[in-house]
A and B are shown apart, each in its own frame.
Chain A
C-alpha cells in the first residue's frame, strides 16, 4: 500500500512536472543559482545580470543563429547552496526543462558535483565564478569564466612581496568553505616557496558563519607578520578588518577576488579604505564595453555590479557567441548541445567585460588578474594588472 501511494504520487508528480518544452523560436538557457542558503546575494546579482542581458538581446530582436532568429528564454533554479539540490536542479534543467546549456552554479561546493552531472548528460555548462580546479577537470562539457585558485595565489604573493616588502605573512580563513580554504593553502604554498619554510607565521582558521575572530586575530597581531591575507567573502571581510584594527593591527591587509562580490564598502566603511585585493575586474576607471555594462547595470539596479554579475554577463555572452558560431541549430537537442560545446571549445579569445580571456583545452580561461586599491572615496581603483 505504501508503495502504491508512492507510485501514485510519483505519477502525479511526473504529469505535473512534465511540461514538455516546445522547441519553438526560443533559446532555452538554464541557470543554477544559490537564491537561498548562505550566499543569496550571489544568486541575486547573477539573476540581475542575466535579466539585463535578456532584455537587451530580446529588445534588439533576438539572437541570430544561421538563418533563424531566436528569443532568449532563461529558466532559473534555486540550488539552496546545497550540493544535492544543485545536482537535482541540474537534472531538472537538463531533462525536464530541456535547456540548451547551463550557466552556473556559482560556488565550487555546488559547481563541482553539478559539473559532473552536466558532463555525463553532455550538456554544456559554464560556471562563471567557481575557481576550484576540480570543476572543469576532465570534463569536456564544463567551462568557466574566471581564473583558478592556483593562479590567483601567486599573484597575491608576488604583489605583497614587492609592494610591501613582506617577508612574513599571516592568513585567516574559513576552514569549512572550500574556496577560502583552497586559496589560503595555495597562498601558503606560494609564499613559502618564495620566502622559505615557516614564513607564514600565523595560519588561523574559523568556521562558516562565525562572527567573532578576536582570538585568531590576537594571535596574528602578536605574531610578527608583515601582511595579513584574508581570502574571504565580503560578508566576513568587514568583521575581520574591523576587529583586526580594534585589536591593534596597523599593517597592510590583502584580499582576494571574493571581496568584490557585494556591497563591501557599505558594510565596511572607513576601515577598508587603503586596502588591496586581487579581482577579476575593476569598476572604477573602466573603459569601453566594461564601462557601458557598469553604467547600464547601475542605472537599472542602483548599485555598481559586483564581480559575480560581471562574470555571469561574460559567461552568457560567451555562450551566445558559441551558439551563433554553430550557424544554425537543428532542433535535435542532443546534437545542438554537442555543437554548442564544440564551438565553446573552439573559442580561443574572447573580449569580455572582465577582460580578455583565452581558453585552454581544459575549459579554463587564461585571463589577467587585477589588483585594485580601495581608495579614500571607497571606490575600487585599478592599481595593477597581473597577467600569467
Chain B
C-alpha cells in the first residue's frame, strides 16, 4: 500500500518536533504540553470508539488507563531499574530501549483484559445501566490499587524516570516523545481502519439498532467484545505513556474526573468523528494550558465556553462527520486510493 499524504505529513511533523526537542529548539514545557496532547488524542479517539461509533455511554475510561499505566510501569521498573521494592534490574537497563514498546503493549493488553469487565455485562445491558457498570469498574480499579501496599497504594508508584534515563543513556534521543508520536500514529491509523472495516460498520449498526443488526447477521457479541477491548487497550497504552512522562503515578490521578475530561473531549469533537476527537484533544489541552493564568476562574471560563459552543454547534466541532467530509478535497490526503463509493 502506498503511504497516504496524511501519513507523510504526520511523519514530517513528528520529525520536525523531535528534532526541535533534541536540539533544544522548544523548551521542556512546550514539550510536555505536546506529549499531553498526544496522550489526550489516544484517549479521546479510543473512547470515541465506544461512545461515538457504538453509541454506548462509557464513563470509566480512566480506570483502563490506570491498569495500563500500572502494568507498564511496574514491569519496566522491575525489569530495568534498581528499586527498593523489586531489587536490582532483571535485564541490563539499556535493553529497555528495545523492550519498552513490549511492556507498553503488555500494559495495553492488561487494560484490554480489564475491558472485559465491561464488555461481558454489555451483552445484556445497554445505555445508562452500562454507564453505571463502567463507573463501577473505574471505582474498582482505583480502589484495588489503593489497597495493594506493595505497589505503593495511595502513595503512588515511581521509578519510571530511571527507566527513561537508562534509555536516553543508551542512545540520546527523546524516547518518550518518540513513542508517543508512534502510538498516536498507530492509534489513529488503527481506529480509522477499524471503523471502516466490517467490524466498524457492525458497530454503527449496533448503535442504530441492535436487534436489527443481530437479525441481519451481525455478530453483536463479538463486535462489542472487540470494540471494548480495543478501546480499553488503547487507553492502557496511553496510561503507560502518561506514567513515563510524569515518572510518578498514583490512583488519585485516575478518578472519574479524568474520565469526565476524556468524555468532554469526545463530545466536544463530535461523536463518531475521528478527526473531531483529534482536533478537540488538541484544542482542549491547549485551552487548559493557555488559560492557566486565570487560576480559579479557569474552570468557570472553560465550561462556559463549552456550553456556548454547544449552543451554537450542538453536535460538537465536527458533528458526525470527518474532516474529509467537510473538505472533500482532503480525501486524497488521507487515502491512498480513491474511495470506491
The answer to whether any beta carbons of A and B sit under 8 Å apart in the complex is: yes
Interface, chain A (partner B; CB < 8 A): 1-7, 9-10, 13-14, 16-17, 35-36, 40, 76-78, 82-84, 87-89, 91-92, 94-96, 108-109, 112-113, 116, 120-121, 132, 134, 175-178, 181-182, 207-208
Report Cα–Cα, A109/B252, bound state, in Å.
8
CA A16 – CA B287 in complex, angstroms?
A: 12
Contact assessment for B10 and A83 in the assembled complex, using a CB-CB cutoff below 8 Å: no
Q: Besides A3-B14, A13-B290, 14 other CB < 8 A contacts?
A: A1-B6, A1-B330, A2-B6, A13-B33, A13-B289, A40-B296, A76-B295, A78-B292, A88-B29, A88-B33, A132-B155, A176-B154, A177-B252, A181-B154
Contact (Cβ within 8 A) B246 A1:
no
Stretch in contact with the other chain, from B124-132, B172-180, B274-282: B274-282
Out of B28, B158, B252, B253, name the residue touching A91 (CB < 8 Å).
B28
Nearest-CB distance from A343 to chain B (Å)? Answer: 25
Question: Chain A residues with Cβ under 8 A from B146's Cβ?
Answer: 175-176
Interface residues, chain B, CB within 8 Å of chain A?
A: 6, 9-10, 12-14, 16-17, 26-34, 36-37, 142-143, 146-147, 153-156, 158, 161, 242, 245-253, 275, 278-279, 282-283, 286, 289-290, 292, 295-296, 298-299, 323, 330, 333
CB contact between A178 and one of B147, B154, B292, B330 (< 8 Å): that residue: B154
> A179 to nearest B CB, angstroms?
9
Point out the residue from A82, A92, A120, A177 that lies within 8 Å of B154, measured CB to CB: A177
* Contacts A3-B13, A88-B289, A89-B292 given; does A109 touch B250 at CB 8 Å: yes
The answer on a CB contact under 8 Å between B295 and A78 is yes
Determine the distance from Cα of A13 to Cα of B34 in the docked complex, in whole angstroms. Answer: 11
Give Cα A7–Cα B146 distance, bound, in whole angstroms: 39
* B330 engages A112 (CB within 8 Å): no
How distant is the Cα of A112 from the Cα of B249 in the complex, in angstroms?
Answer: 10
Task: Select the residue from A6, A35, A181, A208 with max chain B CB neighbours within 10 A.
Answer: A6
9 of the cross-chain contacts (CB-CB < 8 Å) are A2-B279, A3-B6, A4-B13, A7-B13, A13-B289, A17-B290, A36-B299, A77-B292, A113-B248
Question: A148: shortest Cβ distance to chain B, in Å?
Answer: 13
Q: Find out whether the CB atom of A176 lies under 8 angstroms from the CB atom of B251.
A: yes
Contact yes or no, A83 B158, CB < 8 A: no
How far, in whole Å, are A5 and B247 apart by their CA atoms in the complex? 29
Find the B residue at minimum CB distance from A84. B246
Tell which of A17, A76, A96 has the most Cβ of chain B within 10 Å. A17
A181 contacts B155, C-beta separation under 8 Å: yes
Q: Quick check: B28 and A78 within 8 Å, CB to CB?
A: no
B194 → A minimal CB distance (Å) = 18
B30→A82 contact, CB < 8 A: no
Name B32's contact: one of A1, A78, A87 (CB within 8 Å). A87
Of A14, A88, A121, most buried by chain B (CB within 10 Å of CB) is: A88
A133–B88 Cα distance when bound, in Å, is 21
Q: Tell me whether A84 and B242 are in contact (CB under 8 A).
A: yes
Given known A-B contacts A9-B283, A116-B161, A95 and B29 have beta carbons under 8 A apart: yes
Q: Give bound CA distance, A76 to B292, whole Å.
A: 10
Measured CB to CB, the closest approach of chain B to A120, in angstroms, equals: 7
Most chain A CB within a 10 A radius of its CB, from B14, B37, B242, B296:
B296
From residue A183, how far is it (CB to closest CB) to chain B in Å? Answer: 11
Choose from B14, B36, B299, B333 the contact partner of A84 (Cβ within 8 Å): B36
Chain A neighbourhood of B249, CB < 8 A: 83
Are the CB atoms of B279 and A5 closer together than 8 Å? yes
Would you call A1 and B34 a contact (CB within 8 A)? no
A92 near B29 (CB under 8 angstroms)? yes
| Contact of A94 (CB < 8 Å), options: B26, B29, B295 | B29
Q: Are A78 and B298 in contact (CB under 8 A)?
A: yes
- Contact between B246 and A113, CB atoms less than 8 A apart: yes
Return the chain B residue nearest A175 by Cβ: B146
Return the contact of A176 from the options B34, B252, B282 (Cβ within 8 A). B252
Q: Is the CB of A175 within 8 A of B147?
A: yes
B156 in contact with A109 (CB, 8 Å): yes
CA distance A134 to B85 in the complex (A): 14
Are B153's CB and A175's CB within 8 A? yes
* A4 contacts across to B, CB distance below 8 A: 9, 13
**Are B155 and A134 in touch, CB under 8 angstroms?**
yes
Whether the pair A83, B246 counts as a contact (CB closer than 8 A) is yes
Q: Is the beta-carbon distance between A94 and B156 smaller than 8 angstroms?
A: no
Q: Known: A40-B296, A78-B292, A88-B289. Contact between A96 and B27, CB under 8 A?
A: yes
Q: Which 7 A-B pairs have the closest CB atoms?
A: A113-B248, A95-B27, A3-B13, A91-B29, A178-B155, A92-B29, A95-B29
Neighbouring A residues of B330 by C-beta, 8 Å: 1
Residues of A within 8 A of B250 (CB): 83, 109, 178
A178 touches B156 (CB 8 A): yes
Pairwise interchain contact A84-B253, C-beta atoms closer than 8 A = yes
Give the chain B neighbours of A92 by CB distance below 8 A: 29, 289, 292
Please give the distance in Å from B177's CB to the nearest CB on chain A.
13
